Every structure is written in C-alpha cells, then in structure tokens.
C-alpha cells in the first residue's frame, strides 16, 4: 500500500484538517486524486487568504478544526463562505498520548473528517453571532456595575454613612439623589437631604438624618468620586449597548414576543435565549440535543452495570446561567405549572437541582415555540396532580389505612 493511500472507508471526497493556534495554522489536506500534504500558515489575514486559495486550488470541500478559544473565529470568517467548516470539540478528537505534534494533530483531524467520524458544533449565522457578542458584553457590564456599587457601599460604611440601614436599596431614586450631594459637596447638611426623601422608606426621618451623619475624610470623598464617575460611565455604556441590542433583535420580533409568554421569561431573558440558540431550530435534531448542547441535562456515566455521578454536562455556560436565572423567576410565579413543579420537587431534590430542572423545561418550551412559531400553552398548577392522580389516590389510601391501624392500637 502506498504511503498516501487512504486505508479507511471514505465519506468526504477531499477534506482538510486544521490545528489552529494564535500565530500559526497547521493544515493537512487529503482525499481522492490529491496527494496528502501538510503546510503551516500564519494567522494574518493575507496568509489566511493564501490558505483559502490553496484549498480552492485542490478542490477541498470540507474543513475540520478544533474550537480553541477565540483563535478559530478569524479563520472561520475567512473560510466559512467557501467551504463547509466543522468546528469540533477538542475533547472528542484527542490523539494518542505521547504522539502529539501539530502536524500529527492536523492529520488526525483530516483522517477523522474523511471517515465521517466528526460531529460539528453549532455555529450560528453572523446576525446571531453579533447579537450574542452584544448580550454577553451586556452581562459583563451589569456585573461591573454591581461590583462598583459594592465598592461604593464599602466606602460608605467606612465613612459611617448608614444609608443601607434606612433604605431598602442604597441606589434607589432617593438614595442616588442623596449620594450625589454627599459625593460632590465637601460640607453637606443632613437635614437638607431629608427633603429628597419621597415615598415609603424603611425608617423614619430621624433615623435617616442620623444615618446621613458620617465621618467623611478627604480620602473617602476622593474614592467615592472616582467610583461614582466610573459607575456613571458604565451606565452610559450600558445604555448604548441596550440600544444596539434593540436594533439587532428587531428582525427576530416574532420569536421575541412568543418567548415572553413563558412565565418568568422577560424581555432580557428572551433576548438572551435567542442570542445563544438562534431562531433556526433545524440546527438541532430535537429538543434533547438542544438540552445536551446547553448543558441542562445529566450525562450518562455507567460502568460495570452501575450508574455513577449524573451531574449536568459541560455546555453553553452563558445560556445555562440565563436559564438558571429564569428558573428562579419562574419558581416564584403563582398559579403556573412551573411554580407548582418547583414546590413538588424542591423537597426531594433540593433547590439547585430543581432550578436546573425548571431551566431545562423552559429551554424545551423555547425549542418548540421557536421551531413551530406557536404561543406558549400554560398547563396550570393542577397538571401535576392530574398527571399523578392514581398514584396520589393510592398513596393517601395507604396513609389513611395506617392512621386507622394506629388509632385502633391506641384505643
């Protein structure tokens, strides 16, 4: 047998395996009618264009590469329009230990590709990818604002300003007005700040006045001014990102309105779901594949006939965190299936596992709503009781019999 002869059942006629790094891309092409070749290219745009032309010259149709950080994205942007690109999980294509080099990795990927043993990851279209960048950046901005508020609160406590004691939220409308005066004025009168109090608050006016009397040094005021300014800049950036998200989500208005019908799913939650899974459900064979991809269902781990830990699998961490947040919101809804499901499970499974289960059910509902473009159908809180009616009747009959026997024994 010749060295370059393909010695396995070939599914793809001509393919390419890529080992992608920050600075270089190691490429191997193989298939019918071409000689197996391995080359290295820089990741500069001009070099990637040469790579594209080289692949076109040899009539390569499929490309396989590992999802290594963010380094695969510029390669995909250059090659995605001319070839069918399979982005594969690095854990699924590990080579034999002790024989690992960049060239061998690219050849191994090419071999798996030609034999049809690779399964590509979901890569949304450019519109969804851009929306995803905005929503993920928004999450980071919200976290940064929260961190700055915590820092600001610690400086207030150090200066012995006890607004957190008398206000339910230090950064409410009334609190922001007071904090603006405290930050910008070196000398302020707590009595004058009382005129800014409107609506219901936790404490009376005397306690509020006492809470505003602090020991504020120049260092405290400097730190408060710096953090306050950074918070305002972050809030401005957050508003700009929100405006960009509204423009990007406009073409998906139908799906956005339908998803908001799910209990616990607000506008931001619906946008977050669309940004991660898109609106084309043909990418997922069924709802089970979507749940597995999102990391919202337990994995299979069986050995010697014993089932071991079935914790949820690794998946899309951004989507999973969104679904967990929506699960908490759905668990607090009244007269809904999700609210009743939380009550029925939390005693047996605990809060964390129950919330994962609710997030899983929300994701399944999203799959069918987006795929079929249908309204959400509320099952109601009595659905579980109707579903388990026979078991409940048998259970309570047994409980009554046990109570009757205990009563006879007592008598």
DSSP string, 108-160: HHHHHHHTT---PPP---HHHHHHHHHHHHHHHHHHHHHHHHHHHHHHHHHTT
pLDDT per position as a tens digit, 329-374: 999 999 999 999 999 899 998 999 999 999 999 999 999 999 999 9
Taking the domain 127-250, which CATH number applies? 1.10.287
The per-residue pLDDT for 411 is: 47
The least confident of 42-51, 61-70, 206-215, 398-407 is 398-407
Q: Is the pLDDT of residue 11 over 90?
A: no
CA distance 179 to 193: 10
From the CB of residue 354, how many other CB atoms can be counted at a distance below 10 Å?
A: 20
CA distance 385 to 362: 20
Query: 3-state DSSP call for residue 61?
Result: coil
Q: Provide the b/e sequence for 74-94 (b: ≥16 CB within 10 Å).
A: ebbeebbeebebbbbeeeebe
Query: 3-state DSSP call for residue 85?
Result: strand
The candidate with the shortest Cα–Cα distance to 368, out of 249, 264, 284, is 284
- Residue spans per domain, the chain: 14-114, 127-250, 252-302+311-386
Instruction: Write down the H helix ranges in 189-316.
Output: 190-193, 205-212, 218-249, 253-259, 267-277, 287-294
Query: 3-state DSSP call for residue 42?
Result: strand
pLDDT per position as a tens digit, 102-160: 888 889 999 999 988 888 888 889 999 999 999 999 999 999 999 999 999 999 999 99
What are the distances in angstroms from CA 327 to CA 34, 110, 265, 383, 387?
53, 42, 9, 18, 22
What are the distances in angstroms from CA 18 to CA 64, 103, 238?
6, 9, 38
Q: Provide the b/e sequence for 173-183 (b: ≥16 CB within 10 Å).
A: ebbeebbeebb
Tokens of 80: 């995605």
CA distance 149 to 223: 12
CA distance 97 to 115: 21
What are the distances in angstroms from CA 244 to CA 24, 134, 306?
34, 8, 51
For residue 409, name the pLDDT band (cuts at 50, 70, 90). low
Are 234 and 148 in contact by the 8 Å Cβ rule? The answer is yes
Taking the domain 14-114, which CATH number applies? 3.30.420.40
pLDDT per position as a tens digit, 224-234: 999 999 999 99
CA distance 337 to 331: 9
Question: Is the full-model pTM beyond 0.75?
Answer: yes
CA distance 214 to 153: 13
CA distance 110 to 244: 40
For residue 2, name the pLDDT band (cuts at 50, 70, 90). very low
pLDDT per position as a tens digit, 151-203: 999 999 999 998 888 888 888 888 888 888 888 887 888 888 887 887 677 77
Q: Find all residues with CB under 8 Å of 92, minimum gap 6, and list them.
A: 118, 119
The per-residue pLDDT for 233 is: 97
Which residue matches tokens 């939390």? 346
Q: What is the mean pLDDT of the chain?
A: 88
């Amino acid at each position: 047998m010749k060295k370059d002869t393909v010695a396995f059942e070939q599914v793809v006629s001509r393919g390419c395996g890529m080992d992608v790094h920050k600075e270089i891309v190691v490429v191997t092409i193989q298939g019918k009618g071409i000689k197996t070749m391995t080359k290295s290219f820089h990741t500069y745009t001009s070099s990637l264009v040469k790579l594209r032309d080289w692949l076109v010259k040899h009539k390569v149709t499929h490309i396989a590469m590992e999802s290594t950080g963010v380094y695969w994205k510029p390669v995909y942007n250059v090659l995605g329009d001319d070839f069918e690109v399979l982005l594969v999980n690095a854990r699924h294509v590990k080579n034999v230990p002790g024989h690992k080099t960049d060239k061998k990795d690219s050849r191994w990927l090419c071999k798996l590709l030609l034999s049809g043993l690779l399964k590509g990851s979901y890569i949304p279209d450019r519109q969804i990818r851009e929306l995803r960048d905005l929503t993920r950046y928004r999450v980071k901005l919200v976290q940064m604002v929260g961190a700055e508020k915590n820092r600001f609160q610690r400086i207030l406590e150090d200066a012995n300003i006890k607004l957190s004691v008398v206000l339910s939220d230090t950064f409410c409308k009334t609190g922001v007005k007071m904090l603006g005066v405290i930050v910008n004025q070196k000398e302020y009168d707590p009595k004058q700040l009382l005129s800014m109090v409107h609506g219901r608050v936790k404490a009376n006016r005397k306690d509020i006045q006492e809470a505003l009397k602090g020991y504020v040094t120049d260092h405290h005021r400097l730190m408060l001014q710096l953090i306050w300014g950074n918070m305002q800049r972050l809030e401005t950036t957050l508003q700009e990102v929100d405006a960009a998200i509204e423009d990007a989500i406009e073409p998906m208005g139908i799906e956005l309105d339908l998803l908001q019908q799910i209990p616990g799913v607000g506008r931001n939650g619906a946008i977050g779901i669309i940004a991660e899974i898109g609106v084309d459900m043909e990418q997922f064979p069924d709802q089970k594949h979507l749940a597995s991809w999102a990391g919202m269902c337990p994995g299979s781990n069986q050995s010697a006939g014993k089932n071991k830990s079935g914790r949820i699998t690794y998946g899309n961490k951004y989507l999973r965190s969104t679904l967990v947040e929506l699960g908490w919101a759905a668990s607090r809804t009244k007269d809904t299936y999700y609210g009743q499901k939380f009550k029925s499970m939390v005693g047996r499974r605990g809060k964390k596992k129950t919330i994962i289960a609710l997030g899983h059910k929300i994701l399944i509902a999203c799959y069918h709503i987006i795929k079929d473009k249908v309204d959400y159908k509320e099952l109601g809180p009595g659905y579980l009781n109707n579903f388990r009616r026979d078991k409940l009747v048998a259970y309570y009959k047994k409980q009554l019999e046990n109570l009757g026997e205990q009563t006879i024994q007592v008598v």
